[in-house]
A and B are shown apart, each in its own frame.
Chain A
Amino acid sequence: DTGVSQNPRHKITKRGQNVTFRCDPISEHNRLYWYRQTLGQGPEFLTYFQNEAQLEKSRLLSDRFSAERPKGSFSTLEIQRTEQGDSAMYLCASSFQTGRSEQFFGPGTRLTVL
Protein backbone atom coordinates (compact mmCIF):
# COMPACT_ATOMS: atom_id res chain seq x y z
CA ASP A 1 0.00 0.00 0.00
CA THR A 2 1.59 3.30 -1.06
CA GLY A 3 -0.89 5.65 0.57
CA VAL A 4 -0.34 7.98 3.53
CA SER A 5 0.12 6.13 6.80
CA GLN A 6 -0.19 7.41 10.35
CA ASN A 7 0.81 5.89 13.65
CA PRO A 8 -0.57 5.27 16.11
CA ARG A 9 -4.19 5.08 15.01
CA HIS A 10 -5.42 5.68 18.55
CA LYS A 11 -3.77 7.25 21.56
CA ILE A 12 -5.19 7.61 25.03
CA THR A 13 -3.17 9.70 27.44
CA LYS A 14 -3.51 11.50 30.72
CA ARG A 15 -3.58 15.25 30.93
CA GLY A 16 -0.10 16.70 31.19
CA GLN A 17 1.64 13.91 29.31
CA ASN A 18 3.51 14.37 26.03
CA VAL A 19 2.46 12.53 22.89
CA THR A 20 4.07 12.13 19.47
CA PHE A 21 2.40 11.13 16.23
CA ARG A 22 4.07 9.99 13.04
CA CYS A 23 3.03 10.47 9.42
CA ASP A 24 4.56 8.76 6.40
CA PRO A 25 3.47 10.52 3.21
CA ILE A 26 3.24 9.17 -0.31
CA SER A 27 6.88 8.90 -1.29
CA GLU A 28 6.75 11.10 -4.40
CA HIS A 29 5.00 13.96 -2.59
CA ASN A 30 7.11 16.82 -1.33
CA ARG A 31 4.34 18.59 0.60
CA LEU A 32 3.03 17.34 3.92
CA TYR A 33 0.16 18.82 5.93
CA TRP A 34 -1.21 18.40 9.43
CA TYR A 35 -4.85 19.10 10.28
CA ARG A 36 -6.94 18.65 13.41
CA GLN A 37 -10.60 17.62 13.34
CA THR A 38 -12.97 17.66 16.29
CA LEU A 39 -16.35 15.96 16.33
CA GLY A 40 -18.90 17.60 14.05
CA GLN A 41 -16.40 19.99 12.53
CA GLY A 42 -14.37 20.21 9.38
CA PRO A 43 -10.61 19.82 9.63
CA GLU A 44 -8.56 22.81 10.79
CA PHE A 45 -5.17 23.50 9.27
CA LEU A 46 -2.23 23.24 11.66
CA THR A 47 0.95 23.38 9.60
CA TYR A 48 2.57 22.27 6.37
CA PHE A 49 5.99 21.39 5.02
CA GLN A 50 7.56 21.56 1.64
CA ASN A 51 10.35 19.02 1.77
CA GLU A 52 11.95 19.64 5.17
CA ALA A 53 10.97 23.31 5.41
CA GLN A 54 7.98 24.24 7.55
CA LEU A 55 6.33 26.92 5.41
CA GLU A 56 3.27 27.84 7.40
CA LYS A 57 1.91 27.42 10.91
CA SER A 58 -1.59 28.18 12.08
CA ARG A 59 -2.23 30.38 15.08
CA LEU A 60 -3.99 27.30 16.44
CA LEU A 61 -0.59 25.74 16.85
CA SER A 62 0.34 26.85 20.34
CA ASP A 63 3.86 26.55 21.67
CA ARG A 64 2.91 23.15 23.10
CA PHE A 65 2.73 21.83 19.55
CA SER A 66 5.76 21.17 17.43
CA ALA A 67 6.11 19.48 14.07
CA GLU A 68 9.18 18.30 12.23
CA ARG A 69 10.05 16.74 8.93
CA PRO A 70 13.78 16.27 9.33
CA LYS A 71 14.69 14.62 6.05
CA GLY A 72 11.77 15.68 3.95
CA SER A 73 10.16 12.28 4.24
CA PHE A 74 8.15 11.32 7.35
CA SER A 75 6.90 13.91 9.82
CA THR A 76 6.21 13.94 13.53
CA LEU A 77 3.75 16.04 15.48
CA GLU A 78 4.43 16.37 19.19
CA ILE A 79 2.04 17.78 21.77
CA GLN A 80 3.57 18.62 25.12
CA ARG A 81 1.62 18.87 28.38
CA THR A 82 -1.58 17.65 26.77
CA GLU A 83 -4.90 19.20 27.75
CA GLN A 84 -8.41 17.78 27.42
CA GLY A 85 -9.07 20.28 24.64
CA ASP A 86 -6.40 18.56 22.56
CA SER A 87 -8.67 15.54 22.15
CA ALA A 88 -9.32 15.29 18.43
CA MET A 89 -8.50 13.42 15.24
CA TYR A 90 -5.13 14.47 13.86
CA LEU A 91 -5.00 14.10 10.10
CA CYS A 92 -1.93 14.07 7.91
CA ALA A 93 -2.01 14.64 4.16
CA SER A 94 0.52 14.86 1.37
CA SER A 95 0.55 16.30 -2.12
CA PHE A 96 2.71 17.35 -5.00
CA GLN A 97 3.88 20.93 -4.95
CA THR A 98 2.71 21.90 -8.40
CA GLY A 99 -0.54 21.76 -10.30
CA ARG A 100 -3.86 21.22 -8.64
CA SER A 101 -2.04 19.27 -5.93
CA GLU A 102 -4.98 17.50 -4.34
CA GLN A 103 -4.11 16.33 -0.87
CA PHE A 104 -4.24 12.65 -0.03
CA PHE A 105 -5.04 11.85 3.57
CA GLY A 106 -3.98 9.19 5.99
CA PRO A 107 -6.38 7.37 8.31
CA GLY A 108 -5.72 9.81 11.15
CA THR A 109 -4.64 9.45 14.76
CA ARG A 110 -7.43 9.78 17.30
CA LEU A 111 -6.19 11.36 20.52
CA THR A 112 -8.13 11.13 23.75
CA VAL A 113 -6.84 13.11 26.72
CA LEU A 114 -8.29 11.98 30.05
Chain B
Amino acid sequence: AQKITQTQPGMFVQEKEAVTLDCTYDTSDPSYGLFWYKQPSSGEMIFLIYQGSYDQQNATEGRYSLNFQKARKSANLVISASQLGDSAMYFCAMSLSNAGNNRKLIWGLGTSLAVNP
Protein backbone atom coordinates (compact mmCIF):
# COMPACT_ATOMS: atom_id res chain seq x y z
CA ALA B 1 0.00 0.00 0.00
CA GLN B 2 1.16 3.51 -0.71
CA LYS B 3 1.90 5.57 2.36
CA ILE B 4 3.60 8.78 3.48
CA THR B 5 5.05 9.04 6.98
CA GLN B 6 6.01 12.26 8.70
CA THR B 7 7.31 11.45 12.17
CA GLN B 8 7.77 14.99 13.50
CA PRO B 9 4.46 16.46 14.70
CA GLY B 10 6.17 19.72 15.64
CA MET B 11 9.51 21.37 15.06
CA PHE B 12 11.14 24.57 16.31
CA VAL B 13 13.91 26.49 14.60
CA GLN B 14 15.66 29.73 15.29
CA GLU B 15 15.27 32.48 12.71
CA LYS B 16 18.04 32.36 10.06
CA GLU B 17 18.90 28.75 10.91
CA ALA B 18 18.33 25.75 8.62
CA VAL B 19 15.79 23.04 9.44
CA THR B 20 15.10 19.59 8.04
CA LEU B 21 11.60 18.13 7.94
CA ASP B 22 11.48 14.36 7.56
CA CYS B 23 9.38 12.35 5.13
CA THR B 24 9.50 8.67 4.27
CA TYR B 25 7.33 7.00 1.70
CA ASP B 26 6.27 3.53 0.72
CA THR B 27 5.32 2.38 -2.74
CA SER B 28 6.13 -0.52 -5.01
CA ASP B 29 5.54 1.56 -8.14
CA PRO B 30 8.76 2.54 -9.94
CA SER B 31 7.33 5.83 -11.16
CA TYR B 32 6.13 8.43 -8.65
CA GLY B 33 6.47 12.05 -7.68
CA LEU B 34 7.15 13.57 -4.30
CA PHE B 35 5.84 16.98 -3.29
CA TRP B 36 6.10 19.32 -0.37
CA TYR B 37 3.36 21.80 0.42
CA LYS B 38 3.09 24.54 3.02
CA GLN B 39 -0.19 25.30 4.76
CA PRO B 40 -0.21 28.54 6.77
CA SER B 41 -2.90 29.23 9.33
CA SER B 42 -5.01 30.76 6.55
CA GLY B 43 -5.53 27.22 5.25
CA GLU B 44 -4.38 27.45 1.65
CA MET B 45 -2.00 24.77 0.37
CA ILE B 46 1.08 26.28 -1.24
CA PHE B 47 3.29 24.16 -3.51
CA LEU B 48 6.97 24.30 -2.54
CA ILE B 49 9.01 21.69 -4.37
CA TYR B 50 8.81 18.53 -6.49
CA GLN B 51 11.05 15.48 -6.96
CA GLY B 52 10.42 12.83 -9.58
CA SER B 53 11.43 9.25 -8.89
CA TYR B 54 13.73 9.20 -11.93
CA ASP B 55 15.31 12.57 -11.27
CA GLN B 56 19.05 12.20 -10.84
CA GLN B 57 19.60 15.38 -8.89
CA ASN B 58 17.97 16.65 -5.74
CA ALA B 59 15.40 19.36 -6.40
CA THR B 60 16.00 22.92 -5.24
CA GLU B 61 13.65 25.92 -5.25
CA GLY B 62 15.15 29.01 -3.68
CA ARG B 63 15.55 28.36 0.06
CA TYR B 64 13.93 24.94 -0.27
CA SER B 65 15.80 21.79 -1.19
CA LEU B 66 14.73 18.19 -1.18
CA ASN B 67 17.13 15.55 0.14
CA PHE B 68 16.02 12.56 -1.93
CA GLN B 69 17.42 9.19 -0.87
CA LYS B 70 15.68 6.65 -3.06
CA ALA B 71 17.14 3.52 -1.48
CA ARG B 72 15.96 4.67 1.93
CA LYS B 73 12.65 5.92 0.52
CA SER B 74 13.09 9.30 2.12
CA ALA B 75 12.40 12.78 0.78
CA ASN B 76 13.32 15.26 3.47
CA LEU B 77 12.69 18.98 3.03
CA VAL B 78 15.49 21.35 3.97
CA ILE B 79 14.63 25.00 4.56
CA SER B 80 17.67 27.23 4.73
CA ALA B 81 17.83 30.62 6.46
CA SER B 82 14.45 30.26 8.17
CA GLN B 83 12.16 33.27 8.27
CA LEU B 84 9.30 34.06 10.61
CA GLY B 85 6.92 33.64 7.69
CA ASP B 86 7.98 30.01 7.37
CA SER B 87 5.92 29.16 10.46
CA ALA B 88 3.22 26.83 9.12
CA MET B 89 2.20 23.20 8.63
CA TYR B 90 4.30 21.33 6.09
CA PHE B 91 2.96 18.34 4.23
CA CYS B 92 4.81 15.72 2.24
CA ALA B 93 2.78 14.07 -0.50
CA MET B 94 3.28 11.39 -3.12
CA SER B 95 1.71 11.09 -6.51
CA LEU B 96 1.63 7.81 -8.37
CA SER B 97 2.31 8.08 -12.04
CA ASN B 98 0.26 6.70 -14.88
CA ALA B 99 2.31 6.66 -18.07
CA GLY B 100 4.35 9.59 -16.82
CA ASN B 101 1.36 11.63 -15.76
CA ASN B 102 1.00 12.16 -12.04
CA ARG B 103 -2.35 11.39 -10.47
CA LYS B 104 -3.90 11.88 -7.05
CA LEU B 105 -1.78 12.85 -4.07
CA ILE B 106 -1.35 10.73 -0.97
CA TRP B 107 -0.49 12.85 2.06
CA GLY B 108 1.34 12.58 5.34
CA LEU B 109 0.00 13.96 8.62
CA GLY B 110 2.18 17.03 8.41
CA THR B 111 4.79 18.76 10.57
CA SER B 112 4.07 22.01 12.36
CA LEU B 113 7.08 24.33 12.09
CA ALA B 114 7.53 27.28 14.41
CA VAL B 115 10.27 29.81 13.67
CA ASN B 116 11.47 31.65 16.74
CA PRO B 117 12.80 35.23 16.49
Contacts and interface: CB of A to CB of B under 8 A. Distances in A.
Interface stretch (A17-25, A61-69, A99-107): A99-107
B108 A56 contact: no
A65 B42 CA distance: 26
A91 interface: yes
Interface stretch (A42-50, A70-78, A79-87): A42-50
Given A56-B103, A103-B105, A42 B110 contact: yes
Interface stretch (B12-20, B44-52, B64-72, B75-83): B44-52
Contacts of B45: 43, 91, 93, 105
Interface residues of B, number: 26
A108 B47 CA distance: 15
Contacts of A93: 45
Given A43-B91, A103-B105, A107-B42, 16 more contacts: A41-B109, A41-B110, A42-B93, A56-B104, A91-B45, A93-B45, A97-B101, A98-B101, A99-B101, A100-B102, A101-B95, A101-B101, A102-B50, A105-B44, A105-B45, A106-B44
Interface of A: 33, 35, 40-45, 48, 56, 89, 91, 93, 95, 97-108, 110
18 contacts: A33-B104, A41-B110, A42-B4, A42-B91, A43-B91, A48-B104, A93-B45, A95-B102, A97-B101, A99-B100, A101-B33, A102-B50, A103-B35, A104-B47, A106-B44, A107-B42, A107-B44, A108-B43
Interface of B: 4, 33, 35, 37, 42-47, 50, 52, 91, 93, 95, 100-110
